[in-house]
Amino acid sequence: MPAARADDTTATATAAAQAPDSGSPPATLAKPQGRLRRWLRRPTSLQSLWMLVLVLAALLTWSVSQQLGQRRITQQDIDAAVLKTLETQELPSEYAKAYDAIRPSVVRVAGYIKRERLQALAKGKPGAGPAGRATPGASGPKAPPSVDEDEGAQEGEVRLGVGTGVVIVDKGLILTNLHVVSGADRITVTFADGLEATASVVNVQPENDLAVLQAHKIPDDLFAATMKGTGELAPGDKVMAVGFPFGIGPSASGGVVSGLGRAFRSPEGGHSLRNLIQFDAAANPGNSGGPLVTMDGAVVGIVTAILNPTSARTFLGIGFAVPIENAASAVGVPPF
């Protein structure tokens, strides 16, 4: 019997030792908690990525809620903002915008003649005619003699005068008046960027007092003017003349179309020009060959004459321009 009890006691002790403690958690439950604590204490790159995603999601939710809380912009709000801008901001005038559009295409044209040939012409010697192509009687405003008539002239030259031209092809083709360059031994053109180059006459249209020049050197960024047909032009439409009156410029003067289909007869040679645009934008000697432009900066004519019954040759309110359709045909550009 004692041996049996001893065995029972030993078995009981062995069982007790092998049995788990009911008050302690299972070993299998302690492992996940230890891993979570280690994961929180030492965040991995994946953990950091998930934390960043959560933060961005929170910010996005906040932003959407803020936008939903804002008032929707209505057409009335837009109209009020535009009206406020118009009231507080000074916008460029129509003439200023037209000038900015045409200015890069306007050039100063000057003609020079050899002094001995000029003296021969003054004496009326035969064979002393202009080296250039003949032109009918002068039909445009010519500059009177001035103290700077030799400005830009080379040795043995005299400056005939100054006019204006407009680039119509970006390869250096320039429209001007024939009377500006007629008789010149040398022609120069000065572009908007200040580049000065010689030029030659490549075509003429005497019936419209037009000449086409080819510049021998051109700027890298030369801009050709935009041309616009006169089909929709009407008396009262705003126009602007741009040129070098008395060599000063480029200068701009604004006015309106006074009439269409006008005729003009030169007081010197009796040459008649027809189908002209009459305008009242100021034009003076030196404006000849310059562009007459609309408020969108498009060329509708080439300034060619002013009407003044006196010998003063200054502007009295009536100027004439050759329609661009005629001018374009002188260059071989198809009609509008």
Selection from 232, 239, 286, 230 nearest residue 258 by Cα: 239
Q: How far is CA 248 from the centre of its chain?
A: 23
216 is catalytic: no
CA within 13 Å, CB half, 247 = 16
Task: Name the β-bridge partners of 41.
Answer: none
> How far is the C-alpha of 29 from the C-alpha of 27, rounded, in Å?
5
**Angle made by CA atoms 300, 334, 191, in degrees to the nearest 5:** 55
Radius of gyration of the chain from Cα atoms?
44
The answer to whether 8 is a known catalytic residue is: no
Which of the residues 179, 182, 185, 280 is marked catalytic?
179
Q: Would you call 149 exposed, middle or buried from its count of C-beta atoms within 10 A (0-12, 13-18, 19+)?
A: middle
Catalytic residue among 105, 209, 258, 280: 209
State how beta strands 251-265 and 238-243 pair.
antiparallel
Q: What token pair was written down for 313?
A: 């040759």
Q: Which two tokens stand for residue 235?
A: 């008396």
Locate 260 and state its tokens.
């269409």
The C-alpha atoms of residue 319 and residue 284 are separated, in whole angstroms, by 9
Of the candidates 105, 182, 251, 288, the residue annotated as catalytic is 288
User: In the numeric block, which tokens belong to residue 239?
Assistant: 């126009």
Q: For residues 263 and 275, what is the distance between their CA atoms, to the nearest angstrom? A: 6
Residue 37's alpha-carbon distances to 32, 45, 46, in angstroms, are 9, 16, 16
Element (H, E) at 48: helix 45-69
Residue 336: how many CB atoms within 10 A of its CB?
Answer: 13
Contact 187, 131 (CB under 8 A): no
Please tell me the distance from the alpha carbon of residue 273 to that of residue 137, in angstroms, as a whole number.
11
Catalytic residue list: 179, 209, 288
